[in-house]
Structure 1
């Protein structure tokens, strides 16, 4: 158990130090964490709504932080290249995230063109039914993405690494809330200070 906790701590630390330099990214992760925590509560009553929140707000804000605001150049703090970080990434690196987010973005189009989603649902007749079915598809995609990478890690690393990563992903909202709760305030202060510097 101590080894499991140590690996979990190490994966969390690597994720933080390699991929969360930007205050904008940290702030978006804080928003993502809050939304995921709400989704964790809602999922027991309305799984489709929870998935719509998780993918529509939490995942999009989270991944926008990584794709658009996180530096991609040489990491002077950790003395390594972006390519090195992507190569050693335990979970979904940016290339894998493109595939996952592509499936997420493409699924509403498939559901619109194929209203039964190839026989999984009765064809939707109203917008609320469409979004309920879409939420369930996104829920399956989220669970599938977690299970797929976990099992994949069993083979390319080892079982413990896969289980630790799965535990990290599930508990990330709690950890990110704690780590990045001050980021929005720091970001606002940074912007105000920069404006005053330019004005001066």
Structure 2
């Protein structure tokens, strides 16, 4: 258990120091974290609401932070290039995120062409059923993305690395709240970059 917690702590620190320099990105992660916690609450009560909250609000706001506000130049604090950080990223780097977001965005088109999703769903007969099927598909894509990358990490690194990463992803909303709750205040003060002091 100690090794697992050490690995989890290291992955969280690496994620913060390499990928969350921008206070705007941190603020978007704070918003995203709140939305993901709402998604966790809604997922068994209203899959449509959960999928919309999780993908449109939480996931999109989180990725806007990474794609548009995070610096892509040389990282002086960590003495690393953007290319190096992308190559060692444990989870989904920007290239993998583009693939994942493309799968997510194109999935409703697949449901229009194949309403039963190759026999996995009951075909929709109205707009609500269509939205329900889209929501179920999006939830499965989210869960599948975590499981897929976890298994990849089992093979590429170790079972400990994969389990720690999956745990990190699932608990990120709570950790982001703890880490970034002051980020909007820094942005309002004009302090747009985190000095990356160890936490």
Q: Which of the two has higher C-alpha Rg?
A: 1
Q: TM exceeds 0.5?
A: yes
Aligned partners of 1:49 and 1:132 also within 8 Å = no
1:13 maps to 2:13 = yes
Aligned equivalents of 1:108, 1:184: Cα separation in 2: 34
More helix by share: 1
Q: Which has the higher contact order (CA 8 A, sep 6+)?
A: 2
Deviates more, 1:175-184 or 1:163-172: 175-184
Q: Tell me which residue corresponds to 2:30.
A: 30
1:43 is displaced (CA, Å) by: 1.5
Deviation track 1:144-187 (CA, whole Å, cap 9, x = no partner) reads 10111101111110111000000000000000011111111221
User: Counterparts of 2:169 and 2:44 in 1: how far apart (Å)?
Assistant: 19
Aligned 1:93-108 pairs, distance under 5 A: 93-108=93-108
Given that 1:43 and 1:50 are in contact with CA atoms closer than 8 Å, whether structure 2 keeps it comes out as: yes
Equivalent-residue separation in structure 2 for 1:156 and 1:78 (angstroms): 24
Q: What are the Cα deviations for residues 33-89 of structure 1, in whole angstroms up to 9, with x where unaligned? A: 000001111113223421221111101110111011111110011111001101111
| Alignment size in residue pairs | 191
Q: How does 1:160-179 map to 2 (within 5 A)?
A: 160-179=160-179
TM-score, length basis structure 2? 0.91
Q: In the aligned structure 2, how far is the partner of 1:123 from the partner of 1:7?
A: 44
Match of 1:52 in 2: 52
- RMSD of aligned C-alpha atoms? 1.3
Query: Counterparts of 1:44 and 1:106 in 2: how far apart (Å)?
Result: 24
TM-score with structure 1 setting the length: 0.91
Q: Specify the SS of the correspondent of 2:190.
A: helix
Q: Distance in 2 between matches of 1:122 and 1:7?
A: 42
Distance 2:39 2:147 in 1: 19
Question: What's 1:144 paired with?
Answer: 144
SS in structure 1 of the partner of residue 78 of structure 2? coil
